[in-house]
Amino acid sequence: MSAASKWKANDMPDLAGKLAIVTGANSGLGLETTRALARKGAKVILACRGQAKAEAAIDELAGGGIDRELLEFRACDLSSLASVREFCEGVCADHDQLDLLINNAGVMALPYRTTEDGFEMQIGTNHLGHFAMTGLLLNPLLATAGARVVTVSSVAHRIGAIDLDDLHSTQRYQKWVAYGRSKLANLLFTNELQRRLDASPARGHQVIAVAAHPGYSSTNLVFVGPQMTGNSLFERASALGNRFLAQSAYMGALPSLYAATVADVSGGEFYGPNGAMEMTGYPRRVRAQKRAYDRTSARRLWELSAELTGVGYEALAPA
């Protein structure tokens, strides 16, 4: 796609009859992604932690003219493997096909916290939770012609490095480095998943794995870390950045929507904004930093992720 192109959500094809799951769908990029998919006729399962916020989002979308029947909340906390399993078991019991899985939810630059399962919160939520969810939803994905898994990364992957001996940053924790690590993990996961899909004995499935990033987009994600630490100065600076520098959440969702729906997208590709430093603009294919394409790191991270989550992707052959 050329940098001069101005692809918008209205340019998506008709999605009537399609089923999509969007994690973190109640606000920010997830809400805009859900809005766009449902406007094109897709049924969207909003995978969110809190029912109240999800139902408020559904009310907002329905108030904007979207058919409420296309919107369904199902509880899922990506920082809890038990919650992820319960969510996926429910989806698989009710649906034997799944067209789109948008791994969108995430946390950013938090003070050190651990998940219910003892993982560092950012790698646990942003990567391991989505790794488990994708594997547990593999059967309905493989059963659906043209299904796609879109995982949302970040330009911050450029500051990330995978330390498999200290994945959970127990020896040294720097919140932004840990965030970058989790976003690099998203890309390593996408690329390894695509290699395993290509090597799958059931190659006729046609499932592809794609990554996207929103550039610098105005969402509430930037406020969580400062609020947790009481850093009012950084909170105010974030508010100013959102107002004067960032693009809208709608624009930030476009790379994910492009990756999820456009016919010429191929597995393993990465989409982001077309503006300066990929911070703002319309979607185009972009290139990640070199570490994101390291096959050895991707394979080793995959094996460790499978061990930590207990999700083995048995339907896929090793790449």
Cite the active site residues.
179
Structure tokens at 218: 């105005």
Distance, CA of 120 to CA of 212 (rounded, Å): 23
Identity of the amino acid at 179: Y
DSSP code, position 248: P
Q: What is the DSSP letter of 46?
A: E
Angle between helices 249-261 and 28-39 (to 10 degrees): 50
Q: What tokens appear for 190 in the block? A: 């996408």
Phi, psi of 47 (to 5 degrees): -90, 100
Distance of alpha carbon 76 from alpha carbon 40, whole angstroms = 25
Which one-letter amino acid corresponds to residue 300? R
Alpha helices in the chain (DSSP H): 28-39, 51-63, 81-94, 121-122, 130-136, 138-142, 175-198, 221-229, 232-244, 249-261, 295-309
Cα separation of 197 and 222, whole Å?
34
Amino acid at position 194, single letter:
Q
Tokens linked to 159: 């500051």
Phi, psi of 104 (to 5 degrees): -105, -35
